[in-house]
Every structure is written in C-alpha cells, then in structure tokens.
A and B are shown apart, each in its own frame.
Chain A
C-alpha cells in the first residue's frame, strides 16, 4: 500500500462467518476498520466475496479473552486420558450432517 500507515490507527476486528444456515459462525481472520459498521463492510469485502457466507459477525479484537498458553497443561491435558468423553461408542446415522 502506498498509504501513510494511518490505517494502523484503526482498531482491529475479528471476523466470524456463517457459511450456511445451520452451521456455527467460524473465525476466519481479522480486518482493520474505524468503527463497527465499516468493520462489517470490510469483512464482507475481504472474506465473503466468493459466496463464502450468509451471516457475518465482527468483534473488537480487544474484547476477545484468550486462555493463557502457560496454563495449557492444566487446562487441556487432563482431558487427554478421558476418551470415554468422546461419543465414539455408537453409530451416527448417515442423514445427520455437520457433526
């Protein structure tokens, strides 16, 4: 870009796209924008120009609360040894999509 870098002043927004009805919104990336309305438009132009979505969310990146990587061990490892928590012991009918 030949700009003067002023877009760095714009806050960052996380973008979530619902690909089609029945699916959840998924995080696809982020955009810079001066406010929520333009963040939606930038998200539309950046992430849905090839028919990727039917619904968009934008969330200020500063509003995302992330887990602490240093606590990954105590947060996630205890689940590793508990395979009985996976619903793998029965068959899913073919007609059920998106599981």
Chain B
C-alpha cells in the first residue's frame, strides 16, 4: 500500500489527482453504453483527458501507478462528487457540470500558483477543462429545455449531485496550509462566481435554482461513500491480482 501524504503540497496534488482519476474512471464506465455512438466517443474523450491529468498530478505526487492502483479507499483524497455513480446520462452531465465548472475556475487561478509544476499543469489542463465545462453546460441546457422527461431527469440528476458541492469549497487545515504557501488558490474566493455561473446555466435550461441541502463532506480526508470502493475494485483488480503484469 502506498503511504499517505501529509505535507500540504503532496496532499494538494493527491486531491486534484484523485478527482481527475476517479471522475475519469467513472466516465470510462460509459464506454460502449452511451446513448448514441457520438456521445459514447465524446464521453470517452472526456475520460481520457481526466486520466491524462491524473497521470501528471499523481506522477508529481509520487509513483503514479502505485498511487492509482495500490492505494486503499481510505487514502483517496478526491471529493465525494466525482465518485458518485453515473446514474442516467443526465446525472452524469449534472456531475460533470458541477465538477468541471469548479475545476475550470480553480485552474484559471492555479496558473498564479507559486509552484512551477502546478502552473504548467494548469496552463495545459485549463483548455481541456474549458471544453468539458462548455459541453456539460450545452447538454444541461438541451436536456433541461428539452422534453418533459429529459427536464425531469436533468433536475433529478442535479438534485442528486448538489449536496456534494459545498465540499469543493471547504478549506481544512491542510488546504489552508497549501493556500498560505501560495501553492493553492482559495476556492472560497470564487464560490459566488461559481453559484452564479451554475444559476446562469440552469436559467438557460429552464430549470429551477437548486435549494441548498445538508452538505456532505469528508472525501478530502478519506471518508468516502460506498461507491468509491466498488469503483476502485474494478479499477485496481488487475494490477493488484497480477502485480508484475506488463503489456
């Protein structure tokens, strides 16, 4: 098992890297199951972008493969939103809108980090994520402003995901240390901007503004929902069963 990081920089790399890895793995579950061939390819592209980001971030945090495939669920630092199940296409889009809007705003600030690696990472990833955010918004608008059924599914998907949003703006001790060191931007600085951006998309989608729910926190400290364990079981099975396998 890989060791758990404690210094703020490594912890921050793991948080962002695990977000990308887990969301990428989630999206890859759509492969071969998309509602249309074109959507299937589109989701696989998004998944590949995220796995690429995870490779960079976890590679900077340590041995990327070990961290991805030989770490236990309690040591994962991703936020709870990204590990939520795909549900239907609308729920997948809701999750992607809520995460990538946050991720995009974060990356736009991360390029002023004092950390050279993170600046380079942000410069590269921000273009990918801008596309993710736009695509998710486009689909949210079409489903919300579509048929009665698509609007209902979109609203339900957003409702499922919404309680996991506050966690992305939570600042705990380790994150505060990364902020104080100039490594990480303070997410609270763009929470208002985030909320109005989401409200803008919902308005265009003819969807009601979401009522705040009881926030669910803890992913950043390893307290995950049951869903993550199942995801990791599938993802880690092969390298854990055949640790010396090569291809």
Q: Give A residues with C-beta under 8 Å from B.
A: 1-4, 6-7, 10, 31-35, 37-38, 41-42, 45-46, 49
Count residues of B near A (Cβ-Cβ below 8 Å): 16
Beta-carbon contact of B142 and A32 below 8 Å: no
Contact of A3 among B34, B41, B135, B138 (CB under 8 A): B34
Given known A45-B41, A46-B41, A49-B45, contact A38–B142 (CB-CB < 8 A): yes
For the complex of A and B, 6 pairs with smallest distance between CB atoms? A7-B36, A42-B38, A45-B42, A3-B35, A45-B45, A2-B33
Shortest beta-carbon distance from A30 to chain B in Å: 10
CA distance A38 to B35 in the complex (A): 14
Beta-carbon contact of A33 and B38 below 8 Å: yes
Question: Would you call the interface of chain B mostly helix, strand, loop, or mixed?
Answer: helix
Residues of A within 8 A of B33 (CB): 1-2
Q: Give B residues with C-beta under 8 Å from A.
A: 32-42, 45, 135, 138-139, 142
A38-B138, A42-B41, A42-B42 given. 19 additional CB < 8 A pairs? Answer: A1-B34, A1-B36, A1-B37, A2-B32, A2-B33, A3-B36, A6-B35, A6-B36, A7-B35, A7-B36, A7-B38, A7-B39, A33-B38, A41-B135, A41-B138, A42-B39, A45-B45, A46-B38, A46-B41
Shortest beta-carbon distance from A39 to chain B in Å: 9
Shortest beta-carbon distance from B139 to chain A in Å: 8
CA distance A37 to B134 in the complex (A): 11
CA distance A42 to B138 in the complex (A): 12
Residues of A within 8 A of B39 (CB): 7, 42
Shortest beta-carbon distance from A29 to chain B in Å: 11
Shortest beta-carbon distance from B86 to chain A in Å: 13
CA distance A3 to B135 in the complex (A): 20
Shortest beta-carbon distance from B37 to chain A in Å: 6
Contact sample, A vs B, 25 pairs, CB 8 Å cutoff: A1-B34, A1-B36, A1-B37, A2-B33, A3-B35, A6-B35, A7-B35, A7-B38, A10-B36, A31-B38, A32-B36, A34-B142, A35-B142, A38-B139, A38-B142, A41-B135, A41-B138, A42-B39, A42-B41, A42-B42, A45-B38, A45-B41, A45-B45, A46-B38, A49-B41
Contact of B38 among A2, A6, A32 (CB under 8 A): A32
Shortest beta-carbon distance from B130 to chain A in Å: 13
CA distance A46 to B38 in the complex (A): 7
Beta-carbon contact of A41 and B37 below 8 Å: no
Beta-carbon contact of A41 and B142 below 8 Å: no
Residues of B within 8 A of A46 (CB): 38, 41
